[in-house]
Amino acid sequence: MSTTPSPIRPLGPDLALTGSLGKRVDVLVIGLTTGSDGPEAVLGFGVDEDVLAGLLDDLQAVGATGKAEELTRIPAPAELPVGSVLAVGLGAADRIDAEQVRKSAGAAARSLAGVGTAATTLSSVDLGAAAEGFFLGAYSFTEFKSSLSAPSADAQPLARVELLVESPRTKEPKATLARAAAIAQAVATAREFVNMPPSHLYPAEFADRARALGVAAGLTVKVLDEKALARGGYGGILGVGKGSSRQPRLVQMTYSGAKRRGAKKVALVGKGVTFDTGGISLKPGAGMENMTSDMGGAAAVIATVVLAAKLGLPLDVTAWVPMAENMPSSTAQRPGDVLTQYGGITVEVINTDAEGRLILADAMARACEDNPDYLIDTATLTGAQMVALGNRTPGVMGTDEFRDRVATISQQVGENGWAMPMPAELRADLNSRVADLVNVANHRWGGMLVAGIYLKEFVADGVQWAHIDVAGPAFNTGGPFGYTGKGGTGVPVRTMVSVLEDIAANG
């Protein structure tokens, strides 16, 4: 039985525009920058300059420096109708950008557990970034905390943020806040999926939750079960899922937002392995619990297509989300087996732990049948991504022009995708003795690049394509930082929606 919750549920604090400090505000959050003579307060609407100068003296007295994301909280002066003031560092004044505002707002939000309402002047620096940062910094996953360990009242996440702006009732700030809130909710939705344990999020349940979100957003949603997958020839998805008692799915979510003839069509594909043991090629036990995150690409794609609908983008966007659980059993595929991907390419499975590319290939081949102008796929695909780029930098591959476009946009929005090559000489390493392809090379060099080269085989000619490997960036196994807590991060939702907006604007 499905345990699907209501699809419309706020996952962060209420966000509101205001022109003055209200009586309900508990904490005022202001920004500080570093300076040669000590910290400097960032001017923001809603606080008198003389009051701000006095606050700066008090903050300096307790050691505030303005260093990026440094937090200093002091009692509020009598002139302010709040209990306390929290100063958050923004770093050097000449280096402040939207991502730094986002990070600093997130750090502030994380520190304000137990606070009912905060107001902030960071909105004067960058309204959208401040809103996103506060929302995502306050996000926490508590669904499985029982009454014995549930957070106490003074540990509950920040409930409301009032963003101080000069004209809160005018069109521009309202539109900026609406977009930021929608993006933050989408990122948090992806986080929520990733953080859901595999005992409760398996392929059928994942498909049900995706359907609920899609229908609520006005999308057309179709779900292919294991019988439909067999009839359709989706050998990659079936091969990966055949070792589990919980059968695979393929979800198609369609947003028809084109408002003129010639508007672009975009296909999104995300890897949805709800748990990855490695199959017969079993992973080491240490850290395997983190493989609950192996559907991070699918989570991001679902959240993004729903967000495209909410923003009303003038595009046609179709998401293809293959879902499977990769388990070892008497029915699991074996190293040496041959499967047939959707469209007819045969693959010798050398390593059952290189399963993500098998389910992606089916979905990508099917997506290309609809002749999209652009195809973006994303996945927690290779450990080699982390070896090459670390835990916070996605690798971007694909057709050269679109790859570079996606990587540039990713850097602009703070998700920091980095363009990577697909060296032609690595293609020969995918030749099989018995089939058309093998699913891994016979060496460990350039593993992320080899995976991209494999996926390229399933992209139709003429389709602009980008592959985003988020093996590390989709899941934070370390301590919280900026607006990112431990667990699911929601990367690369902000990259993908910004690419969609760029396509809508520029073709």
Average pLDDT over residues 216-227: 98
Picking from 191, 284, 235, the residue whose alpha carbon sits closest to that of residue 492 is 191
DSSP letter for 454, please. H
CA distance 329 to 75: 61
Helix (H, G, I), strand (E, B) or coil at 323: strand
Domain extents in the chain? 14-165, 189-506
The DSSP-derived string for 80-107 is: SSSSEEEEEEEEEGGG--HHHHHHHHHH
φ, ψ for residue 6, nearest 5 deg: -55, 130
Answer yes or no: are the C-beta atoms of 100 and 7 closer than 8 Å.
no
CB 119 within 8 A of CB 22: yes
Spatial separation of the C-alpha atoms in residues 499 and 300, rounded to whole Å: 14
Tokens, residue 114: 């137990």
Residue 178 scores a pLDDT above 90: yes
Q: Do the domains 14-165 and 189-506 sit in the same CATH topology, yes or no?
A: no
Mean pLDDT value across residues 161-167: 96
Could you tell me the pLDDT band of residue 151, with boundaries at 50, 70 and 90?
A: low
Query: What is the predicted pLDDT for the residue at 2?
Result: 47
The partner residues of 255 in beta bridges, in order of sequence, read 317
C-alpha–C-alpha distance, residues 378 and 395, integer Å: 10
Distance, CA of 336 to CA of 414 (rounded, Å): 42
The average pLDDT across 211-224 equals 98
d(CA 152, CA 5): 24
Q: In sequence order, which residues have a C-beta less than 8 Å from that of residue 69 and are 6 or more positions away?
A: 88, 89, 103, 104, 107, 481, 482
CA angle 358, 212, 238 (to 5 degrees): 20
Amino acid symbol at 87: A
160 is catalytic: no
Known active-site residue 427 = no
What percent of the chain clears pLDDT 90, i.e. is strictly above it? 92
Contact 495, 468 (CB under 8 A): yes
d(CA 472, CA 485): 14
Confidence of residue 155 (pLDDT cuts 50, 70, 90): confident
pLDDT digits (tens, 9 = 90+) for 487-505: 999 999 999 999 999 999 9
Determine how β-strand 84-92 pairs with β-strand 71-75: antiparallel
Rg (CA), the chain: 24
Q: Which one from 67, 174, 283, 427 is the annotated catalytic residue?
A: 283
Structure tokens at 313: 């983008």
User: From CA 328, how far away is CA 283, in angstroms rounded?
Assistant: 11
Residue 489 tokens read as 């991060």
DSSP 348-385: E-S-TT--HHHHHHHHHHHHHTT--SEEEEEE---HHH
Predicted confidence at residue 9, as pLDDT, reads 67
Tokens of 461: 């000619």
| pLDDT tens track for 404-413 | 999 999 999 9
Query: Roughly how many angstroms between the first and final C-alpha of the chain, as a whole number?
Result: 44
CATH annotation of 14-165? 3.40.220.10
The single-letter DSSP state of residue 331 is: T
For residue 500, give the H/E element and its range.
helix 493-506
How would residue 259 be classed by pLDDT, with cut points 50, 70 and 90? confident
Average pLDDT over residues 265-284: 98
Active-site residue (options: 209, 357, 366, 494): 357
| Paired strand residues for 119 | 28, 162
Asked if the model's pLDDT at residue 6 lies above 50, the reply is: no
Q: Which CATH number fits domain 189-506: 3.40.50.720, 3.40.50.970, 3.40.630.10, 3.40.50.10090?
A: 3.40.630.10
Cβ atoms 236, 321 nearer than 8 A: no
Contact 106, 98 (CB under 8 A): no
Strands 395-398 and 464-469: antiparallel
